[in-house]
């Protein structure tokens, strides 16, 4: 088995579920896993509020950074609008914080988000779009306002360098046995149940020697999309469209 796995934790913000995040932090520590963590600097998405605001949130982010966790900018406020799914580079969802907005608005959002990180003396290394939806204007805004060169998203086997960004693919939401490739497993600690935590522990033991952290990858690669990466994208999209159609009927 040559496959390598990255763990990504989504939706860290001041009102996260502290109990669940403490639990996942301790599990990851026991297994020596350093994940990517998607931080929302000014969350206004009420569905994500699980606790009263934590004044020490940014101290927590700094501690994660010290532990070699990769800090990602997860939008500005996680506020969605409806979109045509096909307008995003990875058309996973019909809602977005970024897709279809003008470049000016996207620049404003990215700038405001980045400035909160900077104010707290943390420079995010990666961009993670809420609901995986973003377009070419988002990339332009990132290029104009930040030093971020890495995006955690994409339906490929390996990281690819495209449009001046390195796309670290994100294809899984649970553990799956894979023979080769780089696989990012996206978890949402806030919504994890007791059984999910137990399964996580089991799987971390099972796939023990196959976890890496973002900085273990060659981040200067100029690897272009290969035929089999395009094939992966195509099949992922077909599977997704079929699922959406079945859900509608
Ligand atoms: Zn999110």
Structural domain count, the chain: 1
- Ligand 1 centroid, distance to 129 Cα (angstroms): 7
Residue 245 pLDDT grade (very low, low, confident, very high; cuts 50, 70, 90):
confident
59-89 core/surface letters (b: 16 or more CB in 10 A; e: else): ebbeebbeeebbbbbbbbbbbbeebebeebb
Examine the pLDDT at 31 and tell me if it is beyond 80: yes
Q: Between β-strands 182-187 and 160-162, what pairing exists: parallel, antiparallel or unpaired?
A: unpaired
Examine the pLDDT at 249 and tell me if it is beyond 60: no
Q: What is the mean pLDDT of residues 30-55?
A: 94
- Ligand 1 centroid, distance to 135 Cα (angstroms): 16
- Ligand 1 centroid, distance to 11 Cα (angstroms): 5
CA distances to 171, 194, 210 from 33, rounded to whole Å, are: 19, 20, 10
Query: Which range of residues forms the domain containing residue 176?
Result: 4-248
- Ligand 1 centroid, distance to 31 Cα (angstroms): 25
- Look up the CATH number of the domain holding residue 237: 3.20.20.370
Residue 36 pLDDT grade (very low, low, confident, very high; cuts 50, 70, 90):
very high
Residue 5 pLDDT grade (very low, low, confident, very high; cuts 50, 70, 90):
very high
Range with lowest mean pLDDT among 45-49, 95-99, 182-186: 45-49
Q: pLDDT tens for residues 75-89?
A: 999 999 999 999 999
Quote the pLDDT of residue 1. 63
56 token code pair: 């020490």
Beta bridge partners of 22: none
Percent pLDDT > 70 in the chain is: 99
- Ligand 1 centroid, distance to 248 Cα (angstroms): 24
Q: Between β-strands 160-162 and 95-96, what pairing exists: parallel, antiparallel or unpaired?
A: unpaired
Q: pLDDT tens for residues 107-165?
A: 999 999 999 999 999 999 999 999 999 999 999 999 999 999 999 999 999 999 999 99
pTM here? 0.95
Quote the pLDDT of residue 12. 98
d(CA 66, CA 76): 23
């Amino acid at each position: 088995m040559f496959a390598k796995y990255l763990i990504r934790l989504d939706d860290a913000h001041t009102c996260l579920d502290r109990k669940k995040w403490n639990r996942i932090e301790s599990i990851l520590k026991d297994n020596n896993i350093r994940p990517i963590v998607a931080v929302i600097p000014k969350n206004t998405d009420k569905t994500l509020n699980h606790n009263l605001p934590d004044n020490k949130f940014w101290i927590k982010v700094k501690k994660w950074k010290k532990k070699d966790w990769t800090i990602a900018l997860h939008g500005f406020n996680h506020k969605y609008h409806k979109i045509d799914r096909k307008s995003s580079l990875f058309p996973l969802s019909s809602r977005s914080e970024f897709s279809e907005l003008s470049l000016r608005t996207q620049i404003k959002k990215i700038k405001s988000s980045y400035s909160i990180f900077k104010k707290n003396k943390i420079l995010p290394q990666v961009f993670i779009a809420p609901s995986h939806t973003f377009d070419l204007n988002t990339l332009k805004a990132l290029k104009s306002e930040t030093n971020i060169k890495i995006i955690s998203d994409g339906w490929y086997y390996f990281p690819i360098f495209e449009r001046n960004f390195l796309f670290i693919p994100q294809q899984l939401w649970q553990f799956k046995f894979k023979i080769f490739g780089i696989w990012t497993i996206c978890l949402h600690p806030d919504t994890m149940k007791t059984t999910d935590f137990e399964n996580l522990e089991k799987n971390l033991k099972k796939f023990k020697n196959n976890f890496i952290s973002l900085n273990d990858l060659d981040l200067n690669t100029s690897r272009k999309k290969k035929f089999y990466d395009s094939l992966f994208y195509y099949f992922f999209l077909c599977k997704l469209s079929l699922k959406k159609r079945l859900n509608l009927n």
